[in-house]
């Protein structure tokens, strides 16, 4: 008996038993509630709902949870990364994007099989993530960051496609967020045999996979071919994630949660991890889905389970961050002899000229009723220009604020990858707007207030969660991304209710200037002028803080108060900008980096240059979004995100 418990681990068995027991109890209550419904017109409707909807959904939850958990355990073992799973590595997002593209543009491909389409999308994303990770020796930080950035890019592109096809808006949004709703046994039976085949194949490589615990050098000396092993195991995990995504959409963080629970409860050996993780994941998703259906009632049929699991999975990612072993890398600023060198002045002048040209093009150039490019007709000049001018100035002001906020965050945290988008500040602002729209329903001023509260709340949580590690750049960044995922999941749950206000919220999330009028544009512009001026006044602190807290304190900078004030200023700027251009723009990352690469290194010139570059980029993004898919309008925030994510990936590749 001791040998059996020692081999299979008693702790994970107890956890799995508890989860299955709780899930079974809730499932029985759900079945009893379903059978209480009355039959209609001689048909036994409750039994039909039970056999063709409720039971297939519960079976799908078990299979999807087991498959995703096995995929997460395989990825964590072969990559030696405790944060690896199909969500954090972007594999599920790639499958989701491939299915959306195929559904809208190449429906004939779906005839070949949804699984093949999803597998192709997952494989492309996996190759990108592995390629970027290989340049840094498959370090946990680079893999997770690459995967999450690609996930953001896939999500932005999916949102654009969804907005351009509003007749599919609700169905695509709910399915993409992970809906387990079923109408037959087709999907669970298909998942059963496909998952079983892949699990058997993965079991054949368990012995060489176990040898990785001895170290890559020792494993290679014992005859393990690491490249072939990685290819096989990652391929199996990608296939499992693709199968689940093609069937039910993106179920977030189950592949992270289940292996972690198994490991913390006593599963030390790889065989134990691979055996208990699927069982724990199956019980966990069964419990979560049954609870959702019982609590939400009829709304549970449409409530995306994947979004709900992300709400609980993101805090776990925050708790696991201290266990992630990364090297602390401080932002290196190459000091110049003069902050306003002639080269820097010329760069700033060029940036201002580009900004002016972008504003002129955005205001005066467009497409007419017949789709041809033209300048405003004299008869329509006084009508068209007043319509375009507020949108251009809103985009300009928002881009400038995001870029300056990015400079503040990068210098304050010593993290060259920090930005309002990646730290979740913009997502927090969007959550504040969601609360305002769904709960309080105030006017524009109230929405700005709630956006600022949401941004500052997320910023405070990031600061507190990273305080134990001395604000290590990598952990600050991952904490922000995990909080952003949680906030986006909450917004996704609100949007999936079918409330008409969800369309308004989604437009804000995408960053559309379509509804901007003269009043809101003036408000954003005034906020940009005041907050940017305040940032310029803090140039001395921003010049000294990157040198370190001891050096800053030695020259009289109150480090704690300065950081608190600068974080608050960045949060306010992000909140004000989010209302016009959305949470996913990457301007807060691109603007500071382009300014630094151009030679603007000191705080004041970098902020001025970043503001000009960020404003110009957002104006151009708004112009492109307004004209490229005429007569439809693509939100400016999503256009800049489509460009910004590849820019970030190039930075990761270059810094390998």
114, 198, 201, 241, 653 from 224: Cα distances, Å: 35, 21, 17, 26, 28
The Cα–Cα gap between 218 and 224 comes to 9
**Model pLDDT, residue 536:** 92
Q: Tell me the Ramachandran region of residue 80: left when phi exceeds 0, alpha when psi lies from -120 to 50, beta otherwise.
A: left
409 and 296 together in one domain: no
Which domain, by its residues, includes 498?
A: 389-654
Helix (H) or strand (E) holding 505: helix 501-510
Do 197 and 283 belong together in one domain? yes
Domain boundary among 268, 290, 320: 320
Contact 277, 69 (CB under 8 A): yes
CA atoms lying within 13 Å on the CB side of residue 292: 28
**Last residue within a domain, chosen from 320, 344, 370:** 320
Among residues 320, 355, 373, the one where a domain terminates is: 320
- Please indicate, yes or no, whether residues 537 and 409 belong to a single structural domain of this protein: yes
265 and 398, same domain (yes or no): no
Q: Is the separation of the CB atoms in 20 and 31 below 8 Å? A: no
Q: How far apart are CA 479 and CA 466, in angstroms?
A: 7
CA 387/CA 359 separation, integer angstroms = 14
Do 307 and 399 share a domain, yes or no?
no
Instruction: Specify the DSSP class assigned to residue 330.
Output: P
Residue 379 lies in a domain: no
Same domain, 302 and 438: no
- Strand, coil or helix: 373: strand
84 and 224 share one domain = yes
Same-domain pairing of 399 and 294 = no
228 in a structural domain: yes
Indicate whether 279 and 419 sit together in one domain. Answer: no
Q: What angle do CA 478, 481, 484 make, to 5 degrees?
A: 150
Q: How many domains does the chain have?
A: 2
Total-model pTM: 0.72
Mean pLDDT by 10 residues, the chain (656 residues): 50 86 88 71 71 88 92 86 78 83 81 81 86 71 74 74 61 64 86 90 82 72 75 86 84 81 81 89 88 71 68 66 49 42 67 84 74 66 76 88 90 76 74 78 70 78 66 61 70 66 67 74 89 91 80 78 82 79 76 82 88 88 80 74 72 60
**CA 228, 230, 232, 233: dihedral to nearest 10 degrees?**
160
Residue 474 sits in a domain of what CATH number? 1.10.3470.10
Domain annotation covers residue 372 = no
């Amino acid at each position: 008996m001791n040998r059996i418990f020692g081999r299979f681990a008693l702790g994970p068995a107890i956890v799995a038993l508890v989860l299955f027991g709780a899930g079974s109890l809730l499932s029985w209550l759900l079945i009893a509630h379903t059978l209480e419904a009355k039959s209609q017109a001689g048909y036994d409707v409750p039994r039909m709902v039970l056999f063709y909807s409720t039971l297939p959904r519960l079976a799908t939850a078990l299979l999807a949870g087991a498959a995703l958990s096995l995929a997460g355990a395989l990825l964590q073992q072969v990559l030696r990364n405790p944060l690896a799973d199909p969500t954090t590595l972007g594999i599920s997002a790639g499958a989701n994007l491939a299915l959306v593209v195929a559904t809208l543009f190449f429906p004939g491909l779906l005839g070949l099989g949804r699984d093949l389409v999803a597998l192709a999308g997952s494989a492309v994303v996996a190759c990108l993530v592995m390629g970027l990770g290989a340049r840094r020796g498959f370090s946990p930080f680079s893999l997770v960051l690459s995967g999450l950035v690609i996930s953001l890019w896939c999500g932005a592109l999916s949102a654009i496609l969804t907005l351009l096809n509003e007749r599919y808006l609700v169905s695509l949004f709910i399915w993409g967020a992970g809906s387990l709703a079923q109408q037959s046994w087709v999907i669970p039976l298909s998942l059963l045999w496909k998952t079983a085949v892949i699990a058997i194949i993965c079991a054949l490589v368990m012995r060489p996979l176990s040898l990785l615990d001895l170290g890559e050098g020792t494993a290679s000396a014992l005859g393990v071919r690491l490249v072939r092993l990685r290819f096989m195991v990652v391929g199996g995990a990608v296939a499992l994630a693709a199968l689940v995504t093609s069937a039910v959409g993106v179920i977030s963080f189950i592949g992270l949660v289940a292996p972690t629970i198994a490991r913390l409860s006593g599963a030390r050996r790889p065989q134990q991890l691979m055996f208990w993780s699927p069982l724990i994941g199956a019980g966990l998703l069964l419990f979560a889905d049954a609870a959702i259906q019982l609590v939400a009632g009829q709304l549970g049929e449409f409530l995306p389970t994947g979004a709900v699991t992300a709400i609980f999975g993101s805090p776990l990612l925050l708790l696991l961050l201290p266990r992630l072993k990364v090297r602390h890398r401080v932002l290196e600023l190459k000091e110049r002899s003069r902050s306003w060198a002639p080269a820097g002045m010329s760069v700033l002048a060029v940036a201002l000229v580009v900004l002016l040209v972008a504003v002129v093009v955005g205001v005066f150039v467009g497409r007419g009723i017949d789709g041809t490019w033209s300048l405003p007709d004299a008869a329509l000049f006084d009508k068209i220009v007043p319509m375009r001018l507020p949108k251009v100035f809103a985009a300009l002001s928002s881009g400038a604020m995001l870029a300056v906020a990015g400079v503040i965050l990068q210098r304050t945290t010593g993290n060259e990858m920090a930005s309002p988008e990646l730290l979740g500040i913009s997502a927090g602002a969007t959550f504040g707007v969601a609360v305002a729209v769904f709960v309080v329903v105030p006017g524009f001023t109230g929405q700005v207030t709630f956006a600022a509260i949401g941004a500052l709340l997320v910023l405070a949580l990031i600061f507190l969660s990273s305080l134990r590690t001395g604000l290590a750049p990598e952990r600050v960044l991952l904490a922000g991304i995990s909080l952003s995922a949680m906030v986006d999941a909450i917004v996704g749950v609100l949007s999936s209710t079918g409330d008409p206000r969800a369309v308004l919220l989604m437009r804000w999330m995408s960053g559309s200037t379509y509804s901007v009028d003269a009043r809101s544009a003036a408000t954003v512009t005034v906020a940009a002028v005041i907050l940017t001026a305040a940032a310029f006044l803090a140039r001395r602190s921003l010049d000294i803080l990157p040198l370190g807290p001891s050096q800053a304190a030695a020259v009289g900078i109150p480090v704690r108060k300065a950081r608190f004030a600068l974080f608050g200023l960045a949060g306010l700027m992000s909140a004000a900008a989010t209302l016009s251009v959305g949470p996913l723009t990457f301007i807060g990352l691109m603007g500071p980096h382009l300014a630094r690469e151009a030679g603007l290194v000191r705080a004041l010139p970098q902020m001025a240059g970043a503001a000009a570059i960020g404003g110009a980029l957002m104006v151009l993004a708004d112009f492109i979004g307004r004209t490229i898919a005429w007569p439809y309008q693509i939100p400016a925030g999503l256009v800049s995100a489509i460009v910004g994510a590849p820019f970030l990936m190039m930075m990761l590749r270059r810094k390998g």
